[in-house]
Every structure is written in C-alpha cells, then in structure tokens.
A = this chain, B = another copy of it.
Amino acid sequence: MNCFEAFQVKSGSKVQLDKIDASFKDCYKNREEAQPVIDKLDERIRAQQYLMYAEHKRSLLICLQGRDASGKDGTINHVLGAMNPQGCTVTSFKQPSKEEAAHDFLWRCHKVTPAQGHVAIFNRSHYEDVLIQRVHNMVPESIWSKRYDHINHFEQLLADHNTLVLKFFLHIDADEQLKRFKQRIDDPSKHWKISESDYTEASYWDAYTQAFEDILKKCSYSHAPWFVIPANHKWFRNLAIASIVADAMESLKMTFPKPSVDINEIKRKYHQLDKKELQEGLINTLPSKNK
C-alpha cells in the first residue's frame, strides 16, 4: 500500500481517532516479515539524505507527536539510524524554560529549524502549545485558539524556504498505552523515569483526543501534511514512517551539485604524482587552467 496516501490527513477533513485501528499492520504478519522491507526503505532514506546534504538547497523537518508511551523516542532512533547524524539534529521540547516562556510560542522552535541540506527532528513540537496548554487550561481559549493560524503561517514560511515539513501523529489506543506503562514498571532500569503524571494524564484521554483532532483538521496542508500512523505495532509504525519519508524525499528529485573543480584536471595534475612529489609541493609548479 502507499502509506503516504493512506495515512495523510486531507486538508480540512475531520478525523475521528477512535475510528482508526491503531493495530493496523497492512498485509504483514509480523516484524520478521516486514524487516526486509524496512531495510530497503532505510537504504533509500540514507541515499536521499546524502543527496540533500550534497545539494544544500532543501531541508527536512519531521515533527513527532503522540500520547505518552506512543513511541516518539523509538521512532527517532529508527529514523535517525537510517541517516548520517552529522546532517541531523533532534530537539526535544519539554516544559519551556524561563527564557523560552518569555517569548512567543514559536520562538524556541524557529531557532532549531533545519538549515539547507539538513534534517531536523522535533520530539514534540510547537503543537504542544495547542495540546497540553489547551487541555490543562494553562492559557485561555482566546490565546490558544489563535495559534492554529500562527502555526500554519510559520510552516508556510518554512515550506517557502524549501523545507519539507512532515508531521506524524503516533496513534496508539488506551490498552496499548496501559500495556507499555506496565512494561516500564516491570523493568528496573526504567523506574527512574516513571512519574505519577503519566497516569494522571491518562485521565485526560478524551480531552487530548479532541485537541489532536482539532490539530489534524486545522493544520494539515499539502506543503506540511499530517499523517496518522497506526502505532500499536512498533515495527509497522517504523515501516509506515520510513515509507512516507523515503517517498517524500524522492519526490523532491534532488541532484548532486556540479563539482567545483574539473575532475579530469585534478586527476591529471595530482594522481600521476607520487606522495613524495605531493608533499614536496611540486604541484604548485604545474600549470593549471584554473589559475
């Protein structure tokens, strides 16, 4: 199936999350069956990222959102595993610092958008400001209700600067979330990061559903689409996202820049010398058509 088409939220359309099967896994029986497909997708992403870095004209911003334990960290490990870390940055948006809170809500995100040739991954993002802030009434509706427009204008600005913006909602259901919380409890190396708020947040399940559905309806555009990814199966989540990223990057039809030097001239000038001649600087006495 074409994941890009299948999971993309069409602009302005109403998504009902509880109607979407979070355990969907297409035609695959299990992880083993999917792995060769994932490996090939990773190869395509690796090649495209190298090309993006070389071309130095476009950039890619990946935003990951989802409930607690929906797999944002695992997704980042997988997507980045397919990329050269030198062309990538990951930013985790947590509770705003004092300095961040003293600016508009897009300020801290804008600072870390990807430069030409680079990939940036947002672990949570500017969408937190219409999620947790809305659900917990941290700002009044008169404030958060204006933010959807600000977000759309911001993403349009990025797109106009040749940034491909891909936004993924990792869709798990409540049973899966509870199962993952239990796995944390059973793993002593994870106890340090358990907090009571993981559980108390779960009681806001419906309020978050409403907030996510509003985002999907108001902020999905062809230049910055949202995708709802069935994420109960971690391997299918990885497959779907890798497939969308690979397709989207290839659709940019990027090309290698022309060499800045004449490769044949370089061959003639330097690769007929031995290392001693190179080191002794004889090269400087050779004629060069570039000088």
Which A residues contact B (CB, under 8 angstroms)?
A: 50, 54, 73, 76-77, 80-81, 84-86, 88-90, 92, 123, 174-175, 177-178, 181-182, 185, 188-189, 191-196, 199-200, 202-203, 205-206, 256-261, 263, 266-267, 269-271, 275, 278-281, 283-284, 288, 290
Contact = CB atoms under 8 A, between A and B. Distances in A.
B259 A194 contact: yes
Given A195-B260, A202-B278, A92 B86 contact: yes
Copies in the complex: 2
Contact of A185 (B205, B257, B271, B283): B271
Contact of A290 (B196, B202, B260, B275): B196
Given A123-B86, A185-B271, A195-B260, A279 B50 contact: no
A154 B56 CA distance: 34
Given A178-B278, A192-B54, A283-B200, A185 B86 contact: no
B278 A199 contact: yes
Chain A, interface SS category: helix
B256 A189 contact: yes
A110 to B, nearest CB: 18
Counting from the closest, the 9 A-B pairs by CB-CB distance are A203-B281, A191-B259, A174-B275, A80-B85, A205-B279, A199-B270, A192-B257, A202-B278, A178-B275
Contact of A86 (B50, B73, B175): B73
A5 B283 CA distance: 40
A74 to B, nearest CB: 10
18 contacts: A50-B189, A54-B192, A77-B86, A85-B88, A86-B92, A86-B123, A174-B275, A174-B279, A177-B275, A181-B271, A194-B259, A194-B263, A195-B260, A196-B288, A199-B278, A202-B278, A202-B279, A203-B281
